[in-house]
């Protein structure tokens, strides 16, 4: 059974940081030391392991903004892929947090991998809410990225407000 655990175990954290660095290009992630400090100090940000029973499967970093949830990073270990773990993870996340709005960012569908990623999220109930979103840089030396915002929401009219919250708290205050 899939479950999430806020991680405090150093050996587990090291495995998750390795997955984080391998899965996300430099401009799509934080400095890892800062990420770990933020995970310890923030009440809103959750740095969690994804487990299937007692087997470590992946990483989920999300923010609880009370009115909505924002999935910042989500990755399954390569050797654990193609076992429906991603679907099961999103299903558990939705079970826990819906009917609150759930948002995430994804690359526009420009190549086979990004096309498959968008289809994966759509198959799991997410819809494209904003195709004009620009992700602010994660660092002073980073670059902005054009991404899409996908989500599950009962209140699409609040999407712009939620995006501003993400930009303010995730990028401006915590880079």
Average confidence score pLDDT of the chain:
93
User: Tokens 């602010």 correspond to what residue?
Assistant: 136
Give residue 131's region: left, alpha or beta (phi > 0; psi -120 to 50). alpha
Q: CA dihedral in degrees (33, 101, 2, 122; nearest 10)?
A: -100
pLDDT band at 174 (very low <50, low <70, confident <90, very high): low
Structural domain count of the chain: 1
**What confidence tens digit (pLDDT) does each residue in 121-151 have?**
999 999 999 999 999 888 888 899 999 999 9
Q: Which residues pair with 47 in a beta bridge?
A: 61
Under DSSP, is residue 134 helix (H, G, I), strand (E, B) or coil? strand
**CA gap 109, 5 in Å, rounded:** 31
Q: Give the residue-averaged pLDDT of 27-55.
A: 92
**CA gap 157, 90 in Å, rounded:** 23
In terms of Cα–Cα distance, which of 121, 142, 130, 127 is closest to 24?
Answer: 142
Domain holding 135: CATH number? 3.40.630.30
Domain span holding position 154: 2-172
Q: Give the residue-averaged pLDDT of 31-57.
A: 93
pLDDT over 60 at 175, yes or no: no
CB 89 within 8 A of CB 62: no
C-alpha separations of 10 from 6, 19, 57, 99, 136 in Å: 12, 14, 16, 34, 30
Is 137 or 97 the better-scoring residue by pLDDT?
Answer: 97
Angle between helices 10-23 and 32-41 (to 10 degrees): 130
Q: Which residues pair with 50 in a beta bridge?
A: 4, 58
pTM: 0.93
For 77-112, list the strands marked E by DSSP: 101-106
């Amino acid at each position: 059974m899939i479950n999430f655990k806020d991680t405090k175990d150093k050996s587990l954290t090291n495995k998750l940081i390795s997955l984080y660095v391998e899965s996300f290009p430099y401009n799509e992630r934080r400095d890892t030391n800062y990420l770990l400090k933020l995970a310890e100090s923030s009440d809103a940000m959750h740095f969690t392991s994804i487990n299937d029973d007692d087997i470590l499967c992946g990483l989920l970093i999300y923010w609880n903004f009370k009115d909505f949830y924002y999935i910042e990073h989500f990755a399954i270990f390569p050797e654990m892929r193609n076992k429906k773990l991603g679907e099961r993870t999103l299903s558990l996340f939705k079970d826990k947090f819906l009917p609150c709005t759930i948002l995430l960012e994804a690359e526009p569908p420009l190549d086979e991998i990004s096309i498959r990623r968008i289809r994966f999220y759509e198959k799991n109930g997410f819809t494209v809410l904003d195709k004009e979103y620009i992700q602010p840089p994660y660092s002073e030396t980073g670059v902005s990225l054009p991404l899409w915002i996908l989500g599950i929401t009962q209140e699409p009219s609040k999407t712009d407000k939620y995006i501003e919250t993400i930009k303010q708290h995730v990028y401006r205050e915590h880079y």
